[in-house]
Amino acid sequence: MRKLRAGVLAGTLAGGMLAAMTFTGMASTSQAAPSGGALGAAPYLYFGWGSPPSPTTVMSASGVRAFTLAFILSNGTCNPQWDGSRSLTGSDQTKINAIRNAGGDVVPSFGGWSGNKLGESCSSVSALAGAYQKVINAYKLKAIDIDIENTEFSTNAVQDRVLGALKTIKQNNSGLKVFVTMPVEQSGLESQGQRLVKQAVKLGVPVDVWSVMPFDFSSGGDMVAMTKSAVTGLKNKVKSVFGLSDDAAWRRSGLSSMNGHTDNAGEVVSVSNFKSIVSWANSVHLARVSFWALNRDCNNCAGIGQGLYDFTKANAGFTG
């Protein structure tokens, strides 16, 4: 398995998809998921990390209308909290209310690389579904993101528990969209990712969008080409497992890139790279494009020369 978000510099984060903030020195086989719309163009924003930007200011400056909020974790029991420590009804809810009052919306993300995962802390499918439902109810959500990494991803029993819980909440929440985000190799899904997609069919879990993180591949290279290769590999697996056409499979696939320097030394996604990735994603009609993370989308925060919110502005151009 490739290296996953261990952090570029010292001082790793409580959530997942880790990176240093600054860089110095049974789903139907005949239907595709609908276009992601505004919720499909939602960069990751982490309120528990450093000095996160005001989301309403970002909305005004970039045109983006939604954010994928990191991360819902366990507080050590089967109880969901932001970073496993902040209540659902505290400051995060105030910020979510402000985003919605400005005409935007949010997609809470469960999991990530680090911290206590609900998939492991909750001992049964029903308990885990209850934890997910608590968050859905708190914010009257239209979509959630399951960022399945680390031991949640590599442990078959936990994979199955997560899938079973997702099946339950899809049955109990009409219209709720479920994004599942996972690691990927340059050629497509690794063995655990392939298992996850196949198990979704076996267990009858209607995941709307399968999304991958196409970075941390190497010490450098053409990140546009490698992203296309990885996501095409995902699409091909979704196509074959679900019995879909190419077009339908693209519309159930997505990606979450990483802006600037990734966790691997020498690997860089430039602003130009990300614009090309978004343009390609629009041309094949992906359901979702995101990146990690808005916290790093400022002057030299990701170790590259760029303007304020350049990646977010590009992400806002994703239409699916």
List Cβ neighbours of 249 (8 Å cut-off, separation of 6 or more).
Answer: 32, 235, 236, 238, 239, 242
Distance (Å, rounded) from C-alpha 12 to C-alpha 6? 7
Backbone angles phi, psi at 253, to 5 degrees: -120, 155
- Using DSSP bridges, classify how beta strands 143-148 and 105-112 pair: parallel, antiparallel or unpaired: parallel
Distance (Å, rounded) from C-alpha 234 to C-alpha 237? 5
Residue among 271, 256, 252 nearest 320 (CA): 252
* Residue 113 tokens, joined: 């690389």
Using an 8 Å Cβ cutoff, are 26 and 47 in contact? no
Q: List b or e across 216-237, with b for residues whose CB sees 16 or more CB atoms inside 10 angstroms.
A: bbeeeeebbebbbbbbbbbbbb
Distance (Å, rounded) from C-alpha 85 to C-alpha 72? 9
Distance (Å, rounded) from C-alpha 206 to C-alpha 171? 9
Identified catalytic residue from 149, 152, 185, 190: 149
Q: Is 149 a catalytic residue?
A: yes
Using an 8 Å Cβ cutoff, are 212 and 193 in contact? yes
Using an 8 Å Cβ cutoff, are 229 and 199 in contact? no
List Cβ neighbours of 17 (8 Å cut-off, separation of 6 or more).
Answer: 5, 44, 70, 112, 113, 147, 149, 213, 256, 258, 292, 293
Distance (Å, rounded) from C-alpha 211 to C-alpha 178? 10
As annotated, the active-site residues are: 149
